Amino acid sequence: MCNILLFFFLRQSENSSSSIVSTMLVTQDYVAVKEDEISVVQGEVVQILASNQQNMFLVYRAANEHSPAAEGWIPGYVLGHTSSSVTPELPEGTIKKSLSWHTALRIRRKSEKRDKEGRKIENGYRKSQDSLANKVSVKLLNPNFIPDAPPEFLIPVTDVACESGDTVTLRCKICSRPRATVTWRGPDNGVRSNNGRYSTTYSETEEATLRIVMVSVEDSGVYTCVATNVAGSVTSSANLTVSASHDGNSEIWKSSFEFNYTEITELGRGRFSVTKRCDQRGSKRTVAAKYVSKKLLRREQVLQEIRLLQTLDHPNLVKLLDTYEMANSYVLVLEMADQGRFLDYVVSWGNLTEEKVALYLREILEALHYLHGWRIAHLDLKPENIVVEHASSQPVIKLTDFGDAVQLNPASSYIHPLLGSPEFSAPELVLGQPASLTSDIWSLGVVTYIVLSGASPFLDESLEETCLNICRLDFSFPEDYFQGVSLAAKDFVCLLLQSEPERRPSALACLQEQWLQPRGVINTGFVGSKHAHASPNHHTLHLDTSRLISFIERRKHQNDIRPIDTVRAFLHSRLLNNI
């Protein structure tokens, strides 16, 4: 009722002569709580400039002995009607704003009267556009003023039905002023953001999307888009129905693992799995069985790794042999690398030289070149995921553990969720920016640094400081750690450890680097070319591996699974302060 009376008083004032100003009396003190508000005192007379749907009034208060002139918003409940419209005595030189605004309104309305051919008929009477305008809930005395408007959905979210394993996009279109902020919530009412299988976008035209990759039956439920601005908040919800896939996935799981295999010993532990050495009954073939916890990973996430392994075939990648399902875990049966983990092999064999390091790196790069040809990023390249097999007289280096691997489209904006130590993670992954194929190249640069020195280039006392070192590219080559290491080897590390993903070389370009060429061969632009020529020998000085023993021991006891997301706000603030 208060708001209706105020609008009535405003209309009355507007219909009076141009020299009369719309004024109201402040009936109680008010202290500003927002930047665009002003404080007023009971008894003051203010000039009304505009109002909005929230019963807030834009007013002008002339200067007085207690305070300077001011303009801002105050709530309607502190205003009362003065006994008559008055012309306030403003100090000389004060701009009488509402006078010019009223004049503009009258000029505009006179022009509307000249176009009365478009008048509307209601109940037999002609109704002017002026009277229609009076029904607008937001009354503007300033024709240039644009009010805040709460969000509304021009196109709401719609229901989606799909099969398990599909990629789904929920979308809607919003209209708001000022531009709304958008949040997506899932069936558990938890926020869905750019993390793991979820990615969100909000375009300049206010189209909002939520993309979910590899959906499973567990993803079924109601998803809600929440749009909020200073004027209000609205929601739009839709139901996602995911049915079980009929592509034969259920047939890949066998249920008799204990009958076919005997557990021998544990080989290692990951964030979500335990890998054990097992012997196949009857044939006595040794395999590596990866037990993935059902409590920690969903079926669809395990299937994603299985599908990748089934499509890959390369001598430097560990092969998938079989899959089983047990009561508490999924089991991936993988070929066994008889020499174990890479760093364990390096330390046990000793006599490490740059030439051997280059040989090992070439095989890792061959694997990455193959993966990247399929646009697959490994995204978890670290010493524990590199194993060695002695299939012949020469060791064969292989990559394993594709639980984090993902196929990146050319315009991909996939944000990779990080857990645990970021020791080998590229800056873009640490900062929550889109992953790229060269994220693996950065990780290989860290591995190279560690093999050459036995030390980790960015590791610090805390997770926060380690991440900060990565983002600032804060590393060096201490002389006591890199004694006997060539400049060419250090240059190769620097080539891989570049902050910008696009500046890092591809796996193929790395393979053509001279430092990596076999002894007695110089690069001609063709890897493995028969036209290669003699080159200076690689350094044959033995590298110190004593620090690698400590490094391996530390990694065995490292079990931090705190999400890196928790330190991203800290990183952005620290990096911003140093710009």
Active site residues: 380
**Tokens matching residue 199:** 């990615």
- Is there a contact between 22 and 13 (Cβ–Cβ < 8 Å)? yes
Residues 6 or more apart in contact with residue 416 via CB below 8 angstroms: 196, 379, 404, 406, 429, 435, 439
- Cα–Cα–Cα angle for 441, 443, 445, nearest 5°? 70
Which segments within 345-428 are labelled E, that is strand?
376-377, 386-389, 396-399, 406-407
**The sheet that has 232-243: what strands, in order across it?**
160-163, 232-243, 221-229, 181-185, 191-192
- CA-CA distance, 228 to 206, in Å (whole number)? 12
Residues of 18-34 as b/e, b for ≥16 C-beta within 10 angstroms?
Answer: eebbbbbebeeebeeee
Of 244, 218, 221, the closest CA to residue 164 belongs to 244
- CA-CA distance, 106 to 112, in Å (whole number)? 10
The Cα-based distances of 25 to 6, 400, 579 in angstroms read 11, 77, 50
- Is there a contact between 135 and 11 (Cβ–Cβ < 8 Å)? no
Residues 6 or more apart in contact with residue 309 via CB below 8 angstroms: 319, 320, 332, 402
- CA-CA distance, 91 to 74, in Å (whole number)? 23
Write the DSSP string, 481-539: TSTT--HHHHHHHHHH--SSGGGSPPHHHHHT-GGGSPTT-B--SSTT-TT-B--PPPP
Of 293, 307, 383, the closest CA to residue 346 belongs to 383
Q: How many CA atoms lie within 13 A of 446 on its CB side?
A: 24
**What is the phi-psi region of residue 50: left when phi exceeds 0, alpha when psi lies from -120 to 50, beta otherwise?**
beta
Number of C-beta neighbours around residue 485 at 10 A:
21
Look up residue 354 and give its DSSP letter. H
Tokens 């889109």, located at residue: 434
- φ, ψ dihedrals at 38, nearest 5°: -130, 160
The response to whether 294 counts as a known ligand-binding position is no
Residues flagged as binding site: 290
Residues flagged as binding site for ATP: 290
